[in-house]
Structure formats: structure tokens, C-alpha cells
Amino acid sequence: MLLAIVVSGLDHIHDTLCIGMVKPWGTGAPCCLVKLTDDHRWPKEVQRHGFEYFLEIGTTKEVLENCGPPTFSFEEQVEILLYYAENDAWPEWANLKLANI
């Protein structure tokens, strides 16, 4: 599965799940949906397959809350998520675009 598929179906994904992604993170990197262990850790079986913690679904929804069209295209929303997961912040270009609305 790709991040774009997850993003397109966010309304139907429970907030308790997390996105796992294979590094290097990018639009073509494989990803999966994962439930954390009972002690809130990243499952070892998922790690063995190369998937690292990317973002929680709830956080993903929060980040994208103000990202919808017409301000940001779907592709831009995915790029914002990729940047946010690495930097815990929006990319400067997205902040500038919001400021110019």
C-alpha cells in the first residue's frame, strides 16, 4: 500500500492505528496500517518487515485538517505529511501558501 491510498481513505480508518512506512520515506515507499502493542510500542514483527513508525492516524487527520482543496492539492497534502513526519512541522512552502490565502 502507498501513503496516497491511506490518505484517500482516512475517513474510514480508526484513529488508534498508526502508519508504518519503509525508509526512505517518499510517495513510492510501501506503507501499512499497524496497531501498537498493549504497551504502546511499535510491533517487532512489523519492524522485521522494514516498516518504521511514520504517524498515528489521528495525528495524520489533524495535520490534514486545514489542507483540503482548493488550498492544497492531494499531492501537496501527501508531501506535507511526508515533511511533517520527518520534522514535526509543516514545510515552509505550505506555511507561505496558507499565509497568502
pLDDT above 90 coverage of the chain, percent: 89
Q: Are 16 and 35 in contact (CB under 8 A)?
A: yes
For residue 57, what are the contacts with CB-CB under 8 A and spacing of at least 6?
10, 13, 14, 15, 16, 17, 18, 19, 33
Give me the number of domains the chain comprises. Answer: 1
The per-residue pLDDT for range 48-101, each reduced to its tens digit, is 999 999 999 999 999 999 787 788 999 999 999 999 999 999 999 999 998 886
**Residue 88 domain boundaries:** 3-99
How many other C-beta atoms can be found within 10 angstroms of the C-beta atom of residue 35?
Answer: 11
**DSSP characters over 4-23:** HHHHHTGGGS-TTEEEEEES
The per-residue pLDDT for range 10-22, each reduced to its tens digit, is 999 999 999 999 9
